[in-house]
Amino acid sequence: MAGAMKRKLGDDDDGPPAWSDQQREADYPRSKRPHTAIEPRDTTESESPLMKLLGELRNGIFELALLSNNTTGMLTINGRVRVTKRDPKRALSCRPWREPALLRTSKQIRHEAISIYYLGHHLDVRTRSNEIDKPNLWLRRIVEQLGGRCPSFHLRVVSCTWDDVAAWLHLAKFAYESSGWKIDLGEMAARYRHILFTVADGNRYYQSALSEVVELGLTSGKLGLSAEKLEEEFYFWAQTAAMSLSKGHGRKRLFASPPGSELKDANLEFMPKRRVAPGYLADEFEQVPFIADEAGNVYSA
């Protein structure tokens, strides 16, 4: 019977003998998966046909692709660095614009074509007085990518208030940094001068004040002053300007106080909130305080 057929283990019977790892490996060898070396990627097959062309031919293609699609040759940057492209059919309208897809294809193509794109356009930077740090950072990155060369640009301060005086430090820093840039005027060189900074027309008080801030930044850069020293000079100017605005010193004051100004203290926080009407649609400005000649030298107009 099945129950009787089973063999009972005794005390001296410990079951099947224990095999060592060496015996088990010899009797039942493990099946090893063969490993194949990873072959290097064939770059000749993955390389773009465009990059196989001569450099001169590639540059010609880049120019046709990046410059021919903008009839105005101007890229407008409003407010918080929102780039727009002007529609030539509608003078007062702008449509969203971003960098061409060609510049985002690969690092090598961007490295070769970015100078053609930015040095071939005139950058029209329009900003408020309390947002100058944003286009300043954006343009600084472009200059770094261009190897220290600066594209043709025009910074327009189109809206400002007296309570933004502390934020005008970014304008001084912008002028301070641009004083050391090598401005590549391109086609603008034929005109022998190039507009760099203007402020909103229609209010000569802001024009005079912002012009002095730009002058402070440019002069500090030419004299080789440090950024810390520039900040000290700016805050001294701001305090002096606040006192002149509140007390009124005739022709000796830094800039004329606006009509109806009732400042009781020289502190910047008490400056009246008189905002200039935005001038985003204005193309011509009464005052062009700072320009650059064909050699890229910046000076007051």
Q: Is 60 exceeded by the pLDDT of residue 44?
A: no
List the single range of 39-48, 212-221, 284-293 with lowest mean pLDDT.
Answer: 284-293
At 135-163, the pLDDT tens digits run 778 888 888 888 877 777 777 777 777 77
Q: Is 80 exceeded by the pLDDT of residue 208?
A: no
Of the pLDDT bands very low, low, confident and very high (cuts 50, 70, 90), residue 36 is low
Nearest-CA neighbor of 81 among 153, 120, 133? Answer: 133
Read off the tokens for 27. Answer: 């009797």
CA distance 110 to 87: 26
At 99-125, the pLDDT tens digits run 788 888 888 888 888 888 888 877 777
CA distance 243 to 240: 5
Q: Is 60 exceeded by the pLDDT of residue 90?
A: no
Q: Is 50 exceeded by the pLDDT of residue 282?
A: no
Of the pLDDT bands very low, low, confident and very high (cuts 50, 70, 90), residue 168 is confident
At 170-193, the pLDDT tens digits run 888 888 887 766 655 554 443 334
Concatenate the DSSP letters of all residues of 67-136 into one string: HTT-SS-EEEEETTTEEEEE-TTSTT-EEE----GGGGS-HHHHHHHHHHHHHTSEEEEEEETT-THHHH
pTM: 0.56
CA angle (38 as vertex; 34, 42 as ends), nearest 5: 150
Residues contacting 77, CB < 8 A, separation 6+: 83, 84, 123, 124, 125, 126, 127, 135, 138
Of the pLDDT bands very low, low, confident and very high (cuts 50, 70, 90), residue 2 is low
Average pLDDT, the chain: 64
CA distance 200 to 241: 19
Radius of gyration of the chain (CA): 34
Of the pLDDT bands very low, low, confident and very high (cuts 50, 70, 90), residue 262 is very low
Q: Which residues pair with 180 in a beta bridge?
A: none
CA distance 120 to 103: 14
Report the pLDDT averaged over residues 220-231.
Answer: 87
